[in-house]
Structure 1
Amino acid sequence: MTTKIPRLTSLFAACCVGAGLPVAVRAAPLQDPYGTWTLQAENDAVSTLKGTSDQYYTSGLRIGWTSGTDNQPPAISNLNRAIWGEGVQRISLGLQQSIFTPAQTQINPPNPHDRPYAGVLLATLNLISDTDTSRSIAGVQAGVLGSYAGGYQVQNGFHSLIGDTPNRGWSHQLPNQPILQLQASRIWRFPVVSAYGVSVDVLPSLAAAGGDFRTYAQVGGTVRIGQGLDSDFGTPRISPGLSGADAFKATRDFVWYGFAGGDGQAVGYDATLQGSTFRAREPHVSKIWDVGEFEAGVALIYHGVRLSYTQTWQTQEFNGARSGLFNFGSVALSAKF
């Protein structure tokens, strides 16, 4: 008897038809028995421009593990196929912390018209399905926004360690609330040209998420140039963002590529800006519904280790934000065991 479970594939297929993208894909032949561990850090002080000192999205930390291919328990495998159909399957687990502050961190109380202090701590479970031309991800995130997320302890603890001035407004951070978030994304990989051993491809993508953290829909794309581009689907980012996820399998001894891309997001709700919908007196600012991101960077894969750097420039997320593009850097190190 066929299990009748609605597939997220139908939603993405409709978007693909509207965008003129092909939907049909076939399973990739490459298998990967090894799990992948990833450590990632994002910070606004890591910048191609003059680094900032704790402003807006100021810090992100993540640790993640992604399984090898097709070795999940039958229940997980059946669920993955029910969502995405046939493909090479993986499961991914992770823990991430994101820290947000206003632009002025040395005043207490903070400016009520600036982004509130907020910390978010989330555990993530993703089901990944790969074909030779696409990567599909569906998952859930659960955690907490508020003091239980440890934003104050991590940020001011690090400042104390390096002898920097502590931020003074953390006593006014957004209060604790539970977070439950559903998310899904698909990335396509299309070769464009290959000459003299160097290749170019494009990675169009769709993503959406909804829940107590951030509700949004995203359309994006990336152009890459290098060698061994079929080893992955782009570099990872701490969610939300344009992410190729942690899984990779090198198709040559040394893989390298440079990339540039961007995305547009339609944002329906952002708890770190608007606060809880159930407590109107919380610190909050008026979000901007349309947010754009531009990114560029480089990735290297050698002997089962991938190192990547991504620089992201982001348009204003709320009314009253400082003019110009906000920017931050992201470093990710992944290794197979």
Structure 2
Amino acid sequence: MACGLLLSLCGPALAEDSPRMGVLEENDSLYTGSDRHYTQGLRISLLTGAIKADSPWAEPFALIAPPDSGQAVSRRYSVFVGQSLFTPEDVSRKSPDGRDRPYAGWLYLGTSLLQESAGNSLENLELSVGIVGPGAMGRSSQNDYHQFIGIKQAWGWGEELDNEPGIVLSYERLWRFALLGGPGGGVDVVPQAGATIGNVFTYASAGAMLRWGRNLQVDYGGARVRPGLSGTDYFDGARLDGKLGYSVFAGLQGRLVAHNIFLDGSLVQDGPGVDKMPVVADFQAGLSLFWSRDVQMMLGAVRRTSEFEGQDKADVIGVASISFSL
């Protein structure tokens, strides 16, 4: 069913340009060698070309507030699958410390409706569904990989959160404001605000990213695994001025957290959990480089403030991604 949907959305009768595939990896060991808390996130996505206005696939965008009359609009779908892993700090214990965050895996798939208006405003309506618990295959993903590279295994997965279906609905809006220069080289800022609700995450967020580079007008920052500093799969190669594009970026996002199943534990089942912090902030910096529509690479790092009471220090998460036209 998913394959049929992707083929339909990528068909020339429905889309105006070629689709893009993206692979995003977030891991706390990329720079620090640590293995704790949010320890791994993998997300694979497919972004459609721009959906034609007369396509039946344009109709679901009525769920997003229509743009002002006369504004140019670009609509795209993103379809994605991902897995996130969470562990306590000490993975050598067979009985995890009840004061540390519990073991948990989150396996999900989802779709985003991405609508750009007037070339400088992007709305993202996103739905993810999946499973938290042993069904997310966190134990095998982490320990099989650790065995392959010859490092210690995590022994406490037998006490991870129980199986539970998960659903996450998110809406966010991003704006792009040029501060200096133009497509040939300049500076812009991308503020964002949004909200997420579900039995996995419920939070409100706001933040901004400052970027310096060339061809900044083709996107709004690279995609991230939720919860994280907002970015999307959106990329519009028709806006390229020359083939080379790059950006050096730095950003901040704050979140007011009402629920995080990986800290609070389940809403409907008894199980491990810790007292979460109601306010969490991400600081991110990195570099993005792309050549034409063909390939784009991003490398960055995130410093995330403490997420629960008793956490001794902030976490540092490495981020790497590649996307390319099909």
Q: TM (normalized to structure 1)?
A: 0.86
Q: Percent identity?
A: 32
Matches within 5 A, 1:205-244: 205-244=192-231
Equivalent residue letter for 2:24: Q
The question of whether the paired residues in 1 share the 8 Å contact of 2:23 and 2:322 is answered with yes
Measured in 1, the distance between the counterparts of 2:27 and 2:84 equals 10
The question of whether the paired residues in 2 share the 8 Å contact of 1:32 and 1:249 is answered with no
Corresponding residue for residue 24 of structure 2: 40
Corresponding residue for residue 245 of structure 2: 255
Equivalent residue letter for 2:64: I
Q: CA deviation at 1:226?
A: 0.6
Which of these residues, 110, 119, 135, is aligned with residue 124 of structure 1? 110
Measured in 1, the distance between the counterparts of 2:33 and 2:213 equals 29
Measured in 2, the distance between the counterparts of 1:277 and 1:329 equals 30
Measured in 2, the distance between the counterparts of 1:72 and 1:154 equals 42
Q: CA deviation at 1:275?
A: 1.1
Q: CA deviation at 1:74?
A: 4.5
Corresponding residue for residue 141 of structure 2: 154
* 2:42 pairs with 1:61: yes
Corresponding residue for residue 127 of structure 2: 140
Q: Secondary structure in 2 aligned to 1:84? A: coil
> CA 1:139–1:160 in structure 2 vs 1: closer, same or farther (change >3 Å)?
same
The question of whether the paired residues in 1 share the 8 Å contact of 2:183 and 2:217 is answered with no
Q: Secondary structure in 2 aligned to 1:70? A: coil
Partner deviation per Cα, 1:83-118 (whole Å, 9 max, x = no partner): 231421111100010000000000110001100000
Matches within 5 A, 1:268-283: 268-280=258-270, 282-283=271-272
* 2:314 pairs with 1:312: no
The question of whether the paired residues in 2 share the 8 Å contact of 1:72 and 1:90 is answered with no
Q: Secondary structure in 2 aligned to 1:152? A: helix
Partner deviation per Cα, 1:58-91 (whole Å, 9 max, x = no partner): 0001110010001488454122134231421111
* Number of residue equivalences: 302
> CA 1:85–1:109 in structure 2 vs 1: closer, same or farther (change >3 Å)?
same
Which of these residues, 273, 287, 299, is aligned with residue 276 of structure 2? 287
The question of whether the paired residues in 2 share the 8 Å contact of 1:84 and 1:136 is answered with no
Q: Secondary structure in 2 aligned to 1:155? A: helix
Corresponding residue for residue 108 of structure 1: 94
> CA 1:72–1:210 in structure 2 vs 1: closer, same or farther (change >3 Å)?
farther
Which of these residues, 45, 51, 59, is aligned with residue 33 of structure 2? 51
Q: CA deviation at 1:165?
A: 1.1
Corresponding residue for residue 266 of structure 1: 256
Q: Higher mean Cα deviation, 293-302 or 70-79?
A: 70-79
Q: CA deviation at 1:32?
A: 5.5
RMSD: 1.7
Q: Secondary structure in 2 aligned to 1:286? A: coil
Equivalent residue letter for 2:255: Q
Q: Secondary structure in 2 aligned to 1:243? A: coil
| Structure 1 unmatched ranges of 5 or more | 1-30
Equivalent residue letter for 2:19: G
Q: CA deviation at 1:197?
A: 4.2
Give runs of ≥4 in structure 1 deviating > 3 Å: 71-76
> CA 1:153–1:72 in structure 2 vs 1: closer, same or farther (change >3 Å)?
farther
Corresponding residue for residue 76 of structure 2: 90
Partner deviation per Cα, 1:38-57 (whole Å, 9 max, x = no partner): 0111100012xx331x1000
Measured in 1, the distance between the counterparts of 2:226 and 2:98 equals 26
Equivalent residue letter for 1:271: I
* 2:315 pairs with 1:333: no
Partner deviation per Cα, 1:189-240 (whole Å, 9 max, x = no partner): 0000118942000000012110011100000000000111101111111122
